[in-house]
Chain A
Amino acid sequence: MIAVQDLFKIYTMGGEPLAALDGVSLSFDRGAYLSVTGPSGSGKSTLMNVLGGLDRPTRGTYTFEGEDVSGLDDDQLAHFRNQRIGFVFQSFQLLARQTALQNVELPMIYAGVSPKDREDRAIQMLGKVGLSERIHHRPTQLSGGQQQRVAIARALANSPDLLLADEPTGALDSATGKDVLALFETLNREGLTVIVVTHDASVAARAKRQIGFEDGRIVLDKVLRP
């Protein structure tokens, strides 16, 4: 189980405290598929960053499969991100100088996987996202949808427990966006826990459970499908 309890993230802007997360509690089990919706600035990305171990909450607890993530230091958090989390960003965040294959290998480099195993695994993951023919292409030689699929392959490289996608279709046209979402659904069906942040109601509707955010608080928590 993954759970956050009474999560606060307070920024001080010009002397005024601003709660990006204002007492958020949320828990879900392995295999969950959550969508997070809400207006811009409501705290969705902040929650994702905390869940992904990129950010620390000002207050509150975070337990991940029984492990207390709030107590981890920088290096332990890096390891946590490396082993447990797969990130998918709106802007793909691929390294422009590197090929699709090298981009997918990156998390495995930090995991200390041998070059041979890395390459095998990266080829396998690129196959899984349907890019077997493009493994030596650089990001600039790929369409947006293809780039996002490389990013997903990279997120899967170290077999994470949790896939965090912050507006993954935001930079894609709707047809390509649907392909990406279909990929998430496939991965979820195979047992991967997925959280997708989105503006798009139709995207949100495809998740099993929908979380609504407003002003750093959860205002909607609805189970859509079992």
Chain B
Amino acid sequence: MKRMDLVRSAAGAIIAHPMRSALTSLGVVIGVAAVVIMTSIGLGAQQRVMGAISGLGSNLIIISPSASRSGFVAQAAGTDISITGADAEALAKQLDGVVAVAPSVRGQAQLAAEGTNWNSRIEGVTPDYLIARDLSIGQGRMFDDREARQGRTVAVIGTTVARELFGEADPLGKRIRVGGSPFQVVGVLTPKGQSGFGQDQDDIVLGPLGAVRSRVVGRRVKGDAVQTIYLKTASEKDLDRVQEDATNLLRERHRIREGQDDDFQAQNMASILKASEAATQTFTILLAAVAAVSLVVGGVGIMNIMLVAVTERTREIGLRMAVGAKRADILAQFALESVALSLAGGVIGLLIGVIGTVILAKLAGWPIAIASWAAPLALGFSVLVGLVFGAYPSWRAAQLDPIEALRRE
């Protein structure tokens, strides 16, 4: 039997019972739609987390005070700050393969300028901070090391702050009060937009480390302490080595003995990425597995209706055999019918899945992420479901005795 005749006969059989075919395919429709939506959600989550993490800056090592440094009493990160500006200077001097070392303190502060108020994040940093965090100046300039050392009250602001405080006016040279202390705006950052975590990265004020620490966040950060030290390495392959060197150096400087816990923690982007990638991948696979179960349920529905079809069409099978159909022809006919039912469900399910994903993404404000393998996977799966669950009914059809079959009422 020619391929086209098989296809036509399968299509004819499906169209002969449109309602029944539709209901039968529904299981696969739902299954495939679920697979597509679930994997898309998984992938979307993965991409958002990745974007968020890599948005912090590339080739970055983040050193922060340890969350729990003293035995039983777990302390919130940063309440007892263990890393200092001196640590940062030592790291900068003694480590190889480091492009930027940027100590930072930060807080939330009320801003005021020309009668307008705005609440924003303020971060006390050194000029290296821009390099470490992959930021750049859009207008004006960054304060320099000398200004930072001298504790000059100058600031670089993000575009959101500029807009909220000054509207369309040029902010350069203007004064703003940061938590009561006056700072002069010397530069505006190039806008970065929302971070992957949903934070407006342009809603920020950067000031010299010393000035911000003493005037804005002084109550929480004592002496030379800093809350974070950012280390940027020359290349990704340096990350692990530099992190190890930095850890050793800090342990030495903090006089931590062998066997004792660090009083700081160092994390690099690559390892965070890897960990979260693994986590979201597990999540995606789990979602896909749940969806695959519904595909199996759809397959059982197909098997059921194919068995009904074989029974109903016993006489047709007998007649086809009488006029020359081989058992393989009958097998192929019913297998193809089953695959066609399943595949039709798969195509519709794929469409619904894609539309559903787009709607979900719109509603949740996510970027649309549909895996490139979603379509081949979904269609491949529906063909497989049709074959597997059509196999037994088709085999039954092919095994019929033509005389018995023709005699059936």
A binding-site residues for B, Cβ under 8 Å: 49, 52, 54-55, 74-75, 78-79, 81-83, 87, 89, 93, 95, 97-98, 106-107, 109-112, 115, 154, 158
Given the contacts A79-B324, A83-B324, A109 and B403 also touching, CB distance less than 8 Å: no
The answer to whether B325 and A49 touch across the interface, beta carbons within 8 angstroms, is no
For the complex, give the distance between the alpha carbons of A112 and B322 in Å. Answer: 16
Give 7 A-B pairs besides A93-B319, A109-B1, A110-B329 with Cβ atoms closer than 8 angstroms. A49-B403, A75-B326, A95-B319, A106-B319, A107-B323, A112-B2, A158-B324
* A-B complex: 9 closest residue pairs judged by Cβ atoms: A82-B324, A110-B324, A107-B323, A78-B326, A93-B319, A109-B5, A75-B326, A54-B402, A87-B322
The answer to whether B323 and A89 touch across the interface, beta carbons within 8 angstroms, is no
The answer to whether B4 and A115 touch across the interface, beta carbons within 8 angstroms, is yes
Give 29 CB contacts A-B under 8 Å.
A54-B321, A54-B322, A54-B402, A54-B403, A55-B403, A74-B327, A75-B327, A75-B328, A78-B324, A79-B324, A79-B326, A81-B322, A81-B324, A82-B323, A83-B324, A87-B322, A93-B315, A93-B319, A93-B322, A95-B316, A97-B12, A97-B13, A97-B16, A98-B12, A107-B323, A107-B324, A109-B1, A115-B4, A154-B323
B136 CB to closest chain A CB (Å) equals 68
For the complex, give the distance between the alpha carbons of A54 and B329 in Å. Answer: 16
Residue of A nearest to B12 (CB): A97
Contact pick for B323, options A55, A87, A97, A112, CB 8 Å: A87
Contacts of A95 in B (CB 8 A): 316, 319
Contacts of B406 in A (CB 8 A): 89, 93
Contacts of B4 in A (CB 8 A): 115
Interface of B is mostly: helix
The answer to whether B323 and A52 touch across the interface, beta carbons within 8 angstroms, is no
Contacts of A98 in B (CB 8 A): 12
Contacts of B5 in A (CB 8 A): 109
The answer to whether B2 and A106 touch across the interface, beta carbons within 8 angstroms, is no
Q: How large is the interface on B (under 10, 10 to 19, 20 to 34, 35 or more residues)?
A: 20 to 34
Contacts of A83 in B (CB 8 A): 324
Chain A CB within 8 A of B69 CB: no
The answer to whether B326 and A106 touch across the interface, beta carbons within 8 angstroms, is no
B408 CB to closest chain A CB (Å) equals 11
For the complex, give the distance between the alpha carbons of A95 and B406 in Å. Answer: 12
Residue of B nearest to A110 (CB): B324
Residue of B nearest to A112 (CB): B2
B12 CB to closest chain A CB (Å) equals 6
Residue of A nearest to B316 (CB): A95
The answer to whether B324 and A111 touch across the interface, beta carbons within 8 angstroms, is yes
Contacts of A79 in B (CB 8 A): 324, 326
B314 CB to closest chain A CB (Å) equals 12
The answer to whether B323 and A106 touch across the interface, beta carbons within 8 angstroms, is yes
Q: Report B1-37 residues with CB < 8 Å from chain A CB.
A: 1-2, 4-5, 12-13, 16
Contacts of A107 in B (CB 8 A): 323-324
The answer to whether B323 and A81 touch across the interface, beta carbons within 8 angstroms, is yes
For the complex, give the distance between the alpha carbons of A82 and B320 in Å. Answer: 10
A178 CB to closest chain B CB (Å) equals 26
For the complex, give the distance between the alpha carbons of A82 and B326 in Å. Answer: 10
Q: Which of B1, B319, B321 has the most CB of A within 10 A?
A: B319
For the complex, give the distance between the alpha carbons of A82 and B319 in Å. Answer: 11
Contacts of B318 in A (CB 8 A): 93
Residue of A nearest to B327 (CB): A74
Contact pick for B320, options A54, A106, A112, A115, CB 8 Å: A106
B24 CB to closest chain A CB (Å) equals 18
Given the contacts A93-B315, A97-B12, A110-B329, A52 and B322 also touching, CB distance less than 8 Å: yes
Contacts of B403 in A (CB 8 A): 49, 54-55
Q: Report B392-409 residues with CB < 8 Å from chain A CB.
A: 402-403, 406
A86 CB to closest chain B CB (Å) equals 9
B76 CB to closest chain A CB (Å) equals 74
For the complex, give the distance between the alpha carbons of A89 and B323 in Å. Answer: 12
For the complex, give the distance between the alpha carbons of A16 and B327 in Å. Answer: 31
Contacts of A74 in B (CB 8 A): 326-327
A148 CB to closest chain B CB (Å) equals 14
Contacts of A78 in B (CB 8 A): 321, 324-327
Residue of A nearest to B330 (CB): A78
Contacts of A75 in B (CB 8 A): 326-328
A93 CB to closest chain B CB (Å) equals 5
B204 CB to closest chain A CB (Å) equals 71
For the complex, give the distance between the alpha carbons of A112 and B325 in Å. Answer: 11
For the complex, give the distance between the alpha carbons of A111 and B326 in Å. Answer: 11
B355-396 contact mask (Cβ, 8 Å, vs A): 1 or 0 = 000000000000000000000000000000000000000000
Q: Which of A49, A78, A79, A115 has the most CB of B within 10 A?
A: A78
